[in-house]
Copies of this chain bind each other. A is one copy, B any other.
Amino acid sequence: MSILVVGSVAFDDIQTPFGKAERCLGGSATYFSVAASFFTDVDLVAVVGDDFSDRDMEIFRGRRINTGGLQRVSGAKTFFWSGEYGYDLNVAKTLDTRLNVFGEFRPQLNERQRKARVLFLANIHPELQMDVLHQTERPKLVALDTMNLWIATKRDALEKAFSEVDLVVINDAETRQFTGETNIVKGARKILDLGPHTIVIKRGEYGVLMITRNSAFAVPAYPLENVFDPTGAGDTFAGGFLGYLTSRQEHNDRELRRAIIFGSVLASFTVEKFSLDRLREITLDNIYERYRAFRALTHFEDFDAS
């Protein structure tokens, strides 16, 4: 069983109230792959320039990540993002985006990749997302992330993309932007009406809300005393969520809920240090331990009125 992800591998300049990191490793597919690889085999499809060194590649080594689909383009530079956070760590301000090698990226899947059990279309142009989907032999589960830029500029393509996937991962501001609904539950229903059976709404420090046609599941974020850098939290969440799901036979409500917790656990680690520094350190045991901490944080007993 494996999961295929297509998205960005990038270098980031990041500034938070607690410090600054330059040209550190980032990108949606990077965070996603590392998080998912704790649970399952990952097939990474992305592109880098020749400034992406052998040392940079180390993040993928010794993990269940197949980098055969990571193209390297000579004479070009890796995707670059620069962003800044104020004390409200829920909101990133983009200072600079340079697509570089990513501007011409047209992924071609190989035989193995086309047979992936689960597909995650990380935040890239919705037409590119659909191009990748149409190359596959329709995975059992197809999930898609997006961003405010595509909602504003590629709305029709995005609506089409929503209609072809099973699951949408999106944040609350994007849900409001896309649907025009201030009420998040109504917004979620509007997206479900386009086709997906499940929508997972990321709410930053407030946790996650998952809505299907007949159920809702809500979980707070793990309350951390030290949130250092929120970059990549959403993609890490998606990696933990879908990585765990890929490893399970069933994708029923019980497993979807556990998957949301595993995604939240992974994201709670990511924000503790810059870039993927914290994800590099942790083990499956750390993950299971924080899963239990999530239970302790959220559990309450039935009440019997009789």
List chain A positions with a Cβ less than 8 A from chain B. Answer: 17, 87-88, 182-186, 189, 203, 205-207, 209, 211, 215-220, 223-227, 254, 257-258, 260-262, 284, 288, 291-292, 295-303, 305
Contact = CB atoms under 8 A, between A and B. Distances in A.
B217 A300 contact: yes
B303 A258 contact: yes
A291 B211 CA distance: 19
A254 B223 contact: no
- Copies of this chain, complex-wide, total 2
B291 A226 contact: no
Contacts of A185: 223-225
Looking at chain A's contact residues, is the secondary structure mostly helix, strand, loop, or mixed?
mixed
A176 to B, nearest CB: 9
Contact of A301 (B215, B254, B303): B254
A301 B223 contact: no
Contacts of A224: 183, 185
17 contacts: A88-B182, A183-B224, A185-B223, A185-B224, A203-B206, A211-B223, A218-B220, A219-B220, A254-B301, A257-B299, A258-B301, A258-B303, A260-B300, A291-B303, A292-B302, A295-B300, A295-B302
A58 to B, nearest CB: 27
A207 B220 CA distance: 8
A227 B183 contact: yes
Contacts of A215: 296
A225 B300 contact: no
- Chain B CB within 10 Å, residue with most, of A203, A206, A291, A301: A206
A174 to B, nearest CB: 16
A234 B238 CA distance: 33
A232 B225 CA distance: 30
Contacts of A261: 300, 303
A288 B303 contact: yes
